């Protein structure tokens, strides 16, 4: 980081200073309480110290605000108050206040939502964003290039329609609707509780309807067995895939699991962090329990159940493309797993949840039993899988192999 620097200016007895912030920015701030050069230099040194501390945290906007507050402080008590605030921020004991304005762009406001800042500002009005990563991708790909730089207060229905009209043809109707939902939710929050717009711009009916559903794939037991046995695929990925197919969690829920969430003695899973804010607990499959007992002995040292070699969580990984590459590497080449047509989508990590539901129903498990693990809120959501389950049973495709037996590395670990 460039060494801090400042420059005093005196104009008709009125002192001010310039200081380096970043790039070519050298803001100016008046020093209205300073009457002599000595007072001005003393005050400048304090301002530079605060600015330097906040620059190190990349808090450049906050640094400018703190510089102004320090400059206008009337006495030692006010200076000490500013110093305490800066120290708390540097030590992580306090977070800079989120500030909203009508002049901010759509992108600036939406990023405060997806980053969690809006939730911190309005914790009872704005839910914590649990799908932030996916929504950031959708906004970055389809919305920001079109209206990202438009002031939030200037967004109209025409802007929303333009975004939807410019989305590539051939996208699933559900994807287009999701983009509209994310855009609409951001504007709802801009209206209330943020109150940076006077009226919500999108009328009832703005969200496109999903008129048809595409077919989704799931893994047959023999395909699942190929994937879990393929040692060209990293062990943590195979454990994750096998776990999802046998326990039915959402992938985002599984990525957040810690070893402390499991009771491997009793075989219980405590799932507190869920998409629907509905904590769940259930008895895991016996083969999964034994597999996890053995895996824990050879897994990276980490609090996370599914961790990288460094010990960090894999929460930003496990993408659909990765899974499809792994499935291909394992030799599971059935075209329905990989083709994309107007009627069908290729395999995603989320479809391992479909594998769990389909095979569980085919094996005679009840919808209630399934919902206890998946967190589905209505039988209609599970009913979508019943036809697949009947077909699976008629094909006598069987059940998934026990996880402890399906992953070769676990065989050599003492039980």
Residue with tokens 């008709």: 12
3-state secondary structure 311-364: CCECCCCCCHHHHHHHHHHCCCCCHHHCCCECCECCCCCCHHHHHHHHHHHHCC
Give per-residue pLDDT as tens, 122-168.
Answer: 888 998 766 666 788 899 999 999 999 999 999 999 999 999 999 99
Residue 111 and residue 106: Cα distance in Å, rounded?
Answer: 9
For residue 97, the model assigns a pLDDT of 62
The confidence score (pLDDT) of residue 358 equals 96
Question: Which phi and psi (to 5°) does residue 29 adopt?
Answer: -140, 135
For residue 399 the two structure tokens come to: 């059940």
**pLDDT, one tens digit for every residue, the chain (415 residues):** 445 567 898 887 888 898 888 877 888 888 988 889 999 999 999 999 999 999 888 888 888 889 988 998 888 888 888 898 888 888 877 655 667 888 999 999 999 998 888 888 888 899 876 666 678 889 999 999 999 999 999 999 999 999 999 999 878 888 899 999 999 999 999 999 999 999 999 999 999 998 877 888 999 999 999 999 999 999 999 999 999 999 999 888 898 899 999 999 999 999 876 666 678 899 999 999 999 999 999 999 999 999 888 777 776 666 788 899 999 999 999 999 999 887 888 999 999 999 999 999 999 999 999 998 998 878 888 888 999 999 999 999 999 999 999 999 999 898 7
Distance in angstroms (rounded) separating the CA atoms of residues 236 and 255: 11
- pLDDT value of residue 309: 83
**Cα separation of 376 and 233, whole Å?**
31
Q: Sketch out the chain's domains with CATH numbers.
A: 6-90 (no CATH), 106-191 (1.10.150), 221-412 (1.10.443.10)
* Three-class secondary structure of residue 267 per DSSP: coil
- Yes or no: say if 164 and 208 are a contact pair by the CB < 8 Å rule: yes
3-state secondary structure of 168: coil
Which positions ≥6 away from 33 have C-beta within 8 Å? 39, 43, 71, 72, 73, 74
Cα distances (angstroms) measured from residue 406 to each of 265, 320, 360: 21, 22, 18
> What radius of gyration do the chain's Cα atoms show?
28
Nearest to 268 by CA among 251, 254, 253, 247: 247
Q: Is 28 helix (H, G, I), strand (E, B) or coil?
A: strand
- For 126-260, strand residue ranges (E) read none
User: Are the C-beta atoms of 319 and 410 separated by less than 8 Å?
Assistant: no
Separation of alpha carbons 280 and 277, rounded Å: 9
**241/329 Cα distance (integer angstroms):** 14
pLDDT of res. 219: 96
Q: Yes or no: say if 196 and 152 are a contact pair by the CB < 8 Å rule.
A: yes
CB 112 within 8 A of CB 65: no
Three-class SS of residue 182?
A: helix
pLDDT digits (tens, 9 = 90+) for 58-89: 888 888 889 988 998 888 888 888 898 888 88
Instruction: Please state, in angstroms and rounded to a whole number, the distance separating the CA atoms of residues 11 and 19.
Output: 17
Residue 199 has, within 13 A of its CA and on its CB side, a CA count of: 5
Distance of CA 271 to the CA centre of its chain: 18
- Which residues, 6 or more positions from 289, have their beta carbon under 8 angstroms from its beta carbon? 264, 267
* DSSP three-state, residue 40: helix
Q: What pLDDT sits at residue 1? A: 44
Q: What is the predicted pLDDT for the residue at 59?
A: 86
Task: Tell me which residue of 359, 355, 360 sits closest to 372, measured CA to CA.
Answer: 360
Contact between 172 and 209 under an 8 Å Cβ cutoff? The reply is no
- Helix spans in 124-220 (H): 132-138, 144-147, 157-165, 173-191
């Amino acid at each position: 980081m460039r060494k801090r620097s400042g420059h005093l200016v005196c104009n008709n007895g009125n002192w001010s200073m310039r200081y380096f912030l970043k790039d070519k920015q050298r803001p100016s701030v008046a020093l209205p309480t300073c009457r002599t050069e000595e007072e001005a230099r003393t005050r400048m040194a304090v301002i530079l110290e605060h600015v330097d501390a906040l620059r190190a945290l990349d808090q450049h906007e906050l640094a400018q605000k703190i510089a102004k507050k320090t400059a206008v402080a009337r006495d030692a008590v006010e200076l000490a108050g500013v110093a305490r605030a800066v120290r708390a921020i540097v030590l992580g004991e306090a977070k800079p206040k989120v500030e909203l304005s009508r002049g901010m762009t759509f992108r600036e406001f939406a990023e405060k939502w997806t980053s969690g800042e809006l939730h911190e500002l309005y914790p009872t009005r704005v839910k914590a964003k649990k799908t932030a990563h996916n929504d950031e991708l959708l906004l970055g790909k389809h919305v920001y290039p079109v209206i990202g730089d438009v002031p939030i207060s200037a967004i109209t229905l025409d802007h929303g329609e333009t975004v939807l009209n410019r989305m590539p043809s051939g996208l699933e109707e559900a994807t287009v609707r999701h983009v509209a939902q994310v855009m609409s939710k951001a504007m709802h929050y801009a209206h209330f509780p943020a109150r940076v717009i006077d009226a919500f711009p999108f009328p009832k009916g703005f969200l496109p309807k999903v008129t048809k559903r595409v077919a989704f794939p799931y893994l047959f037991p023999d395909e699942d067995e190929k994937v879990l046995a393929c040692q060209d695929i990293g062990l943590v990925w195979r454990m994750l895939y096998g776990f999802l197919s046998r326990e039915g969690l959402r992938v985002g829920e599984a990525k957040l699991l810690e070893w402390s969430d499991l009771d491997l003695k009793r075989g219980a899973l405590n799932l507190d962090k869920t998409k629907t804010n509905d904590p769940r607990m259930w008895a895991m499959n016996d083969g999964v329990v034994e597999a996890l007992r053995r895996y824990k002995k050879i897994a990276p040292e980490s609090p996370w159940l599914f961790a990288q070699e460094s010990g960090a969580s894999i929460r930003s990984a496990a993408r659909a493309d990765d899974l499809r590459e792994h499935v291909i590497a394992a030799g599971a080449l059935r075209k329905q797993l990989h083709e994309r047509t107007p009627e069908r989508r290729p395999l995603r990590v989320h479809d391992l949840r479909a594998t769990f539901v389909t095979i569980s129903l085919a094996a005679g498990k009840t919808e209630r039993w399934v919902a206890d693990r998946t967190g589905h809120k209505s039988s209609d959501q599970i009913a979508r899988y019943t036809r697949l389950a009947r077909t699976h049973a008629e094909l006598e495709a069987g059940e998934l192999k026990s996880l402890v037996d399906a992953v070769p590395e676990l065989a050599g670990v003492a039980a």
